[in-house]
Structure 1
Amino acid sequence: MSKSLQAIRGMNDILPEQTPLWRYFEGTVARLLDNYGYKQIRMPIVEFTELFKRSIGEVTDIVEKEMYTFEDRNGDSLTLRPEGTAACVRAVLEHGITGGGQVQKLWYIGPMFRHERPQKGRYRQFHQIGLEVFNLDGPDIDAELIIMTWRLWGELGIRDAVKLELNSLGTSESRGRYREALVEYLSAHHDKLDEDSQRRLKTNPLRVLDTKNADTQAVLVGAPKMADYLDDESRAHFEGLKARLDAVGIPYVLNPKLVRGLDYYSKTVFEWVTDKLGAQGTVCAGGRYDGLVEQMGGKPTTGVGFAMGIERLVLMLETLEQIPEEISRQVDVYLCAFGEQAELAGLALAERVRDQLPNLRLQVNAGAGSFKSQFKKADKSGALYALILGDDEMAQQVVGFKPLRGQGEQQSIAWDALAAHLATCVVQG
């Protein structure tokens, strides 16, 4: 017997009972970004491999271990995008939309791909919403990104479950001076570092700072601090960011070990973390990358952005039971029709109601069936009300109106009055 077909490990189906919560989350974010003046951009999921090597860094874990890379029929090396920033920068450069200092405030949504060990909240195909802002260099736009996420957590009802961590990596020059000091310190304690940190010491020493190894963490207690190597410009920028967060009343924690896993960050870096999801604690993260556009062949252009993981945030909503009641109900009203003439009239009546109430979720029974079977389907749909159309109703040009989820007797409503009655009942229901 042939092996049954199934999804690739770490790449999951999102089933019909799950998609309403995804749509709720995505819609809430999209509406918020519209209100703040951000415009959506959509990029391909496949890019030339060189794009990610140049932007993320060849000695990062993502490029070295995690990318899905393959050669196409033309002999080109292509990669499924592991993150969105590099692709967005490529797009704005290719189309020249940041030229001449034009400010662009962009957002995107879609799948990313990394060959990691699948676990709860961490998958090989995962989905992100990302924001990128170009040609604004002050701390005010850094603050706006964080303030928007703070507002989002409030709208979703999860604000008390997340914590903001901040750090500044300075300019490339100040970070270079810090790197030298850190390497000198860690080299003197080389034998006490775990194997992975010993490797990173030669390739990407700042990543040693976010190690989870307890012995290496003990060594880092006495390590040099990035704050002591910040240049005056970066220090002033960071103070400006903190002042704006203080003015709005957003609490934060300074984390000198926060470096992020990508080479292109400078100055501000931040993460929103939670202790509600086990080991996968980061739900949103980002920072400033003022040198990335130039590094990728463009003119000097400042940039700042973040990405949030949809899987993790949907999981948080489920864990904290912050799911609006209407999300679990996909149908407001279910129309049952008995007999061919009633079915024809029901279709016409349903379309008239939809014309008048475009937001009403009205499902018309398909496949005919007995009174009992249609009502069983109406109840299973989760609808608040059933509409009944049979021979008696046809003769009187009325429709039976029966509450399915609460108290109330069945009543008859004239066809012309149905839309107005539903508007009142569904809103109140």
Structure 2
Amino acid sequence: MRVLLSTYGSRGDVEPLAGLAVRLREQGAGVRVCAPPDEDFARRLADIGVPLVPVGPSARALTRAAPAPASLPERAARLIAGQLGPVTEAAEGCDLLVATGALPAAAGALSVAEKLGIPSVSVTFQQLTLPAPHRRPLAYPGRPFPPEVTDPKTLWELDAQSVNTLFGEALDTHRASLGLPPVDDVRAYVVGDRPWLASDPFLDPWHETPDLDVVQTGAWILPDTRPLPADLTAFLDAGAPPVYVGFGSMPLHAAADMARVAVEAVRAQGRRLVLARGWAELSPGGDRDDCFEVGEVNQQALFARVAAVVHHGGAGTTTTAARAGAAQVVVPQVADQPYWAGRVAALGIGAAHDGPAPTVASLSAALGTALAPETRARAASAAGRVRADGASVAARLLLDAAERGGQDRRSRPAVPPLPVGRTTAPR
């Protein structure tokens, strides 16, 4: 059995595939991963012995470029074009393809699977891209919804129109090069009738809808056994638990100011600081005995030793902090991050900062909420409710479905849906 995992996006789009790849290999499957050619992605996959097939331009460079919204169709065309050669070559001889990441890239990968007749599964790591009657969709940059329209059904119809406008022409052009017919509804093509939701049902509960048969597996987490660096361990041992601040793959164009604000806000709460450089290259500047700067690090181990985690609200970071029992302050920047901020606040395990650009006062206030004894107690209690077996569940379901050979429309495996909230595979 050979499985191809295909994505295009940030670290949060690649890391879950590492978790799934390890579980698939444990069950005897051969695995390849198609992902952006960034060095940190290649290094992460090399650490677990999974081959990386580089696809498209550097995700980090593309993120830093901060292109205008008007260039989205052009970027989509590049992403889809970048799928065709590498993904087609990597998919040859595979029994199953799993597609996730940026919607146009997922559409390109799914088209390759369609061309080759390979069963495919479409996966999202948060539910906001799945049409639901109780929730409005995210608006694409430069394409806000009319303020007078509030009905979710109408908004989802407008969202489908936006997706077609932004990505339809590029997708159909490249499908034609594969000898495939055009797609009438790009979003529906990517989502399908039975999408997979690889998020934790406690943090991201899915509410059943009549139109989608969602399989929620739980988050795909790879246990990290790497030791913390000796100098970081010494810093942690030298005093009370510090506050971690990191924004992952976010570019943060005002990075210097964000670092200054973080240092001053954490100090205002009487805490030391661990500052993660991330893609924004954050640095506290100067010699600061109460600050420690880190690069790539075992977050699972580190978050278990901090008083609170300040972050951007990516699905992976939110889940990792929740599993570690750390209180959180989410400073959302884009896309699904305000949703995760709202979930953290609603569960009472942290605070949601209002907006992407905190001041010392606003971040200190949010930290005050997160560091309150009752918040930290709720965060510690919630840790036991976040499942760690999502990747194992997904691996068993994928291989069982592939072995049965069942397929739904467009060659997707006929996987029995898990009841909402359940994170164990059917026996």
TM-score (norm 1): 0.21
Structure number with higher strand proportion: 1
**Which protein is bigger by CA-based radius of gyration?**
1
